[in-house]
Structure 1
Amino acid sequence: MSNHEFDTIDLLLSSDAPTRAVDAFALAVIKIERQLRKIFTNLVYQAECYGSEDVPKLRDALSSNTKIYFSQIEACFNALSSISTKEIIGKDYERLTARLQEAIGYRNKIFHGQLTQKNLSASDLEQLIADLRLWSELLGNGAEQYFGYDGIKRNSFQKSALPDIHKVIKIKLTSIQDYVDLLKAHQR
């Protein structure tokens, strides 16, 4: 997996901007959430029933569901894939997931202009960013290995070049409605 996904974060951190740590932190959380979503949507797209003409409908199914957040995307992914995020991330999964959930909570507070009750320093945020970067690297490398897509490449709606990709999919999706039902089954 390319480490370029965090280049913007590194630029922010190396700047003289007084808000560099909080800005880089918020962007890191967004990138993590987007990466898992893209890996999930890529895996969904591997269903034989979906082609390029279905991409707008697949996007709409996810974007119109307002009860799907990071945890729900992870649950949907784990329901669909025979290889869970825990297996992909490996031995650091529990620690990194706890850090990620902590980061998402802080990000939500920050985005809403609220205080975090932790009085987070720039150093605290940089440590969280380091853990988010590790999560991203482990997830991306594992996803590339198992699914042929790391969640970083720009187009998640592409068919995998891996000949046995269908073997990692546990749920047979046969329509857009099947996808909608998968999302609904795991929504908040």
Structure 2
Amino acid sequence: MTTEFPPIDHDKSPLLDADHDAVRIADALRSSPHITFVAPAAPGDETVWFRDADGTGFELSLAAVEPDPDAERVAYAWDAVVAAIGNHRHFIRAALKQPSFEPLNLNTITALTRTGNEYTLTLTAGYRPVGDQEHATPAADVAHAADRLLTSDPSDSERAAADLLNYVAATWDTQDLPLREHAQALARTLRTQ
């Protein structure tokens, strides 16, 4: 490693340290337009306190459970879509459609905008050839390289690289040009392997 990119200290990295989960949850809550206040959280906290738009206070308690070694570590597409739309500032909520007393419909999502428009979104799987296709944006190209790496039974270091690429892709608009260029170069390298 160079001094420009020092090695990650896994004992101190907030990206890999479970002690920072309360801080991450508090940060996620702060990004919601429906939550007006979130109390500061520190690494190691076991509760997060917040107030909703109606002024009601809530306390989230983090209770650790023994991790399931067989549990999947990747979100399903429908969960990712619901979370992305529901967390966007122009939407009030997004949810999988659930008719009364029936199981969730994993192909249908209901989304409500701030302006009062409600949409029913139908999720249909479509397959595209992966090959050397160009993606719509450089961020999509970086995310695609990370996804390919994660589906190839990655080592711990490859998983860390993929997680970092996914983070850069998800926050593309806030990243500086050198980091974007570095992520694109890494994505190209991974694509040729």
TM-score by length of 2: 0.28
Q: Which has the higher strand share?
A: 2
Which fold has the larger relative contact order, with Cα–Cα distance below 8 Å and residues 6 or more apart in sequence?
Answer: 1
